[in-house]
C-alpha cells in the first residue's frame, strides 16, 4: 500500500458489541500538506451506546488549513461526552459541537490571511442517524448499491445554478464559471455563515452505509466508481476507494479522506 495512505485510527476504546462497523482512510494526494482530518468517538446517551463520526477538510491554499481541520475534529472528540450529558436532543449535541469548534478555531483566525475548514458530523443513535454540514464535504447514504447525497454543498456554484434556473444568466455561464467551487461557509471564521442540520433523523436499515468524504474523493471518483469499490468490510472499502483515487495519478490531486459507517 502507498505509504501516504493512512487507515483508521481508534480514538476511543470501542465497546465489545456495536450496531455499526466503521472504516476510514486518507491520502495526501499531490499536496505538500495533509489538510483533512477525521475521527470517531463512542459514548453513552440515554443508556445506549452512540457514535460520533466527524470529518473536516481545511481550505486549500489558505492559511492554516491543516490546523483548522485538526482543531475542529479534536474539539468534537474532546467535547462529545460533555455534549451528550448536557443535551437531550442529538441535533443540539451537533450544534453545540459545531459552535465549540468554531470558537476554538477562531483563536487562530487572522482576518488578513483568513482560513477555515469544512465540517461533516454524524451522530448515530440506535437505528437513527443525525448529521450537520458546513462547506462542501459530503455525506451520502448508500443502500442496495444506490447512493443518495444527503447534504447541500455551500459553494457559489449553487448560487449560479439558481440564477441560471431563474433566467438571469445562461446555464453555460454558470457551468463554466471559475467561481463555482468557492466556499460560501466554513468553520473558523468569526461566524459560520451557512450551516445545514437534518430536521428529522434518518432511520438506517441493516447493511446501510453512511459515507463521509472530502472533495478529494468525490471530485476524483464517480458515485458508481465508489460503490464498485465497496467490499463486505467498511475498512477494506475505505482503503480500496482511496487506493483507487491514488491510481488515477492526477497531477493536482487534492487531499482525500473517507469515513464509512455501516449499520449492522
Percent of the chain with pLDDT strictly greater than 70: 93
pLDDT in tens, 145-176: 999 999 999 989 888 999 999 999 999 999 99
What pLDDT score was predicted for residue 61?
64
Of 154, 148, 117, 140, nearest in space to 217 by CA: 140
Q: With contact defined as beta carbons under 8 Å apart, do 119 and 101 qualify?
A: yes
Q: With contact defined as beta carbons under 8 Å apart, do 157 and 166 qualify?
A: no
Return all residues near 195 (Cβ < 8 A) that are at least 6 apart.
98, 132, 133, 134, 185
Domains and CATH numbers, the chain: 6-152+185-263 (3.60.40.10)
Q: Which three cell numbers stand for residue 101?
A: 469548534
Q: Cell 440564477, residue? A: 163
Q: How far apart are CA 57 and CA 72, in angstroms?
A: 10
Average pLDDT over residues 72-96: 98
Q: How far apart are CA 174 and CA 86, in angstroms?
A: 45
Q: Please tell me the total number of residues recorded for the chain in this structure.
A: 264
Q: What is the DSSP string of 127-167?
A: TEEEEEEESS-EEEEEETTEEEE-S---BHHHHHHHHHHTT
Give the chain's mean pLDDT. Answer: 92
Q: With contact defined as beta carbons under 8 Å apart, do 257 and 24 qualify?
A: yes
Beta bridge partners of residue 189, listed in sequence order:
187
pTM, 2 dp: 0.91
What pLDDT score was predicted for residue 48?
94
pLDDT in tens, 26-59: 999 999 999 999 999 999 999 999 999 999 999 8
Of 136, 124, 138, nearest in space to 202 by CA: 124
Query: Which position has the higher pLDDT, 8 or 43?
Result: 43
Reduced to 3 states (helix: H, G, I; strand: E, B; else coil), residue 44 is strand
Amino acid at each position: 500500500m502507498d505509504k501516504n495512505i493512512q487507515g483508521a485510527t481508534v480514538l476511543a476504546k470501542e465497546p465489545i458489541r456495536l450496531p455499526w462497523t466503521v472504516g476510514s482512510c486518507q491520502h495526501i494526494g499531490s499536496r505538500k500538506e495533509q489538510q483533512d482530518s477525521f475521527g470517531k468517538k463512542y459514548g453513552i446517551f440515554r443508556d445506549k451506546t452512540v457514535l460520533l463520526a466527524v470529518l473536516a477538510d481545511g481550505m486549500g491554499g489558505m492559511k492554516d488549513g491543516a490546523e483548522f481541520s485538526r482543531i475542529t475534529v479534536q474539539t468534537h472528540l474532546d467535547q462529545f461526552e460533555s455534549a451528550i450529558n448536557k443535551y437531550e436532543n442529538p441535533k443540539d449535541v451537533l450544534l453545540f459541537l459545531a459552535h465549540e469548534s468554531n470558537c476554538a478555531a477562531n483563536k487562530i483566525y487572522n482576518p488578513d490571511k483568513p482560513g477555515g475548514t469544512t465540517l461533516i458530523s454524524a451522530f448515530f443513535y440506535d437505528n437513527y442517524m443525525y448529521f450537520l454540514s458546513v462547506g462542501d464535504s459530503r455525506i451520502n447514504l448508500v443502500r442496495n448499491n444506490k447512493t443518495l447525497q444527503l447534504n447541500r454543498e455551500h459553494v457559489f456554484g449553487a448560487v449560479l445554478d439558481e440564477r441560471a434556473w431563474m433566467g438571469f444568466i445562461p446555464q453555460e455561464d454558470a457551468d463554466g464559471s471559475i467561481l463555482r467551487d468557492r466556499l460560501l461557509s466554513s468553520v473558523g471564521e468569526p461566524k459560520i455563515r451557512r450551516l445545514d442540520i437534518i430536521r428529522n433523523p434518518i432511520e438506517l436499515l441493516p447493511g446501510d452505509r453512511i459515507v463521509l468524504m472530502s472533495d478529494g474523493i468525490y471530485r476524483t471518483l464517480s458515485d458508481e466508481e465508489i460503490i464498485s469499490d465497496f467490499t463486505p468490510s467498511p475498512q477494506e472499502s475505505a482503503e480500496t476507494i482511496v487506493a483507487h483515487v491514488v491510481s488515477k495519478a492526477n497531477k493536482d490531486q487534492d487531499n482525500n479522506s473517507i469515513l464509512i459507517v455501516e449499520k449492522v
